[in-house]
Amino acid sequence: MEQIDLNTMDELANRLLSDAKTNYGQGQFEKALDILVRCIRAPKSKENRELDVKVYNMLGLIYGYLNQETLSKENLIKALRLGEEYDTKECMIQSYMNLGFLHQKLGDLEAAQAYEEQALALLKECEDEGGRMHAVCLACYGIIQSKLGNDEWNIQHQEHTKLLLPAALDLKLRINYHQGNRQAFEKCMDELINSEMLEEDFVESGEFYLDICAFLWDEELYEELHRILLFMKQHLEKFPLAYLKYRVCNYEILYAKKCGTEEEQWEAVKDWMAILPQYEEEQQNAKRYSFDYVEYLHEEKNLSDKMEQRSKLDPMTGLLNKYTLEFLAEEYLKQKDKDEVTAVLVIDMDHFKQMNDTLGHLAGDAVLLDTAMIIQKFFKEDVLCGRIGGDEFAIFIKNVKDISTLLIQAEFLRQEIAKETSERNVTIAVCASIGIALSTAGFTDYASLFAAADRALYQAKKNGRNKIEVIE
């Protein structure tokens, strides 16, 4: 978290997205949602803007799994529009595929087909035929064709079922069944049950396994359904989410009523009742996540305008801008050791407007540049330095080992800034007031630390300016 450049900012945003993917894959949706919102807020260069497209795509998928379909589509459309704006075809393809998946889940097969067709058209432009994304897209499109009763298309395009992907196995099972190829059908069942896919990425794979359960139930293939349910139940015990377990329990009840004994029916109902409280709590939390996220979107309604600001350092001094400084400080405070002392210094030039009015803005700009250089001279390691206003600077210091040494540094900084500047035979004294707040006073987040430092700055101004005041 030392003074950084834009490349380091991109690394931070990329790391957040990677962490979100890990939590998403493990079904830790609450953590994933928190990280994804932080990832949207993360400062990033123009070259890394497509990262936001990936974030909105993942948000769309998560809200789809949480049965918040409206919010899911809103995020996926946002991802698609940003993908078009940034001309990132791969991200657009993913958005079309996700929209197709969402509409298929909702039973709107015509809309799902249209989205998958747009994804396939873009894949041809990207010359990605034969790749994993192309195989998944073809398989999803084939599943839709199967549900629409268009098995002729699937028979003509069986090559994409060769890969052991959840979507491909879902389609392969359907094709073999409709062709009456029992041996190939049984082989596909074995591949599904012996696969490790459900464990590796149970969120995505689980949806396709449940789709297979629906197919087997509709075709009255009850024993095959039972095999899939036992396989899923064995793996899903390891994961935190209840919604997949809840849906498996529903199929277990259906199977037990059709093929089981009264005792087996009762056991299936007991399993369903046991998972119900967790499922209902999960759905309630999903609504809360939705409300929180909608509120965040409302706050960030001018997000596209702010992104230009977020992607830059302060253009005059080369220090961090206000937004970037706040974000990086907040990210650090989220992960620091609880006993570690941090500090914020707020520096404000005294009588700066008078200086501009008397000597001119060029002279004022020169003073700001000199002040920025002096700040960087005194504060280098483990420090974030930024210009947060016209003549105001802020410094965030992590892991303060010795408070007295920090105060000495601040005093040397104040003395170094204090000097005289001249223009057109007019000389004016330059000086600054400094407010300091330390986390030892009980401040645990950047906003409270900054507010305390700002109060200390106000006290320094009130006490005659060119002074330091501390809250610790």
Q: Render pLDDT for 98-146 as a digit per residue (tens, 0 to 9).
A: 999 999 989 999 999 999 999 999 988 876 555 778 888 888 998 999 8
Q: Domain 322-471 in CATH: superfamily?
A: Reverse transcriptase/Diguanylate cyclase domain (3.30.70.270)
Could you read off the pLDDT of 305-364 as tens digits, one per residue? 555 555 567 888 888 888 888 888 988 888 888 889 999 999 999 888 888 777 788 888
Q: Which residues pair with 397 in a beta bridge?
A: 343, 383
pTM across the whole model: 0.79
**Looking at 45-54, 139-148, 293-302, 389-398, which range is the least confident one?**
293-302
Strand pairing report for 432-438 and 468-471? parallel
Is it the case that residue 258 has pLDDT exceeding 90? Answer: yes
Q: Where are the domains of the chain?
A: 6-299, 322-471
On the question of a common fold for 6-299 and 322-471, the answer reads no
Could you tell me the fold of the domain covering 6-299? 1.25.40
Q: What percent of the chain has pLDDT over 90?
A: 43
Q: What is the mean pLDDT of residues 451-472?
A: 92
Instruction: Collect all residues with Cβ–Cβ distance below 8 Å to 124 and sequence separation of at least 6.
Output: none
> Apex CA 328: angle with CA 324 and CA 329, to 5°?
115
Is it the case that residue 161 has pLDDT exceeding 60? Answer: no
Report whether 210 contacts 243 (CB < 8 A): no
Q: What is the mean pLDDT of residues 50-79?
A: 90
Give the Cα separation of 7 and 252 in Å (integer).
Answer: 52
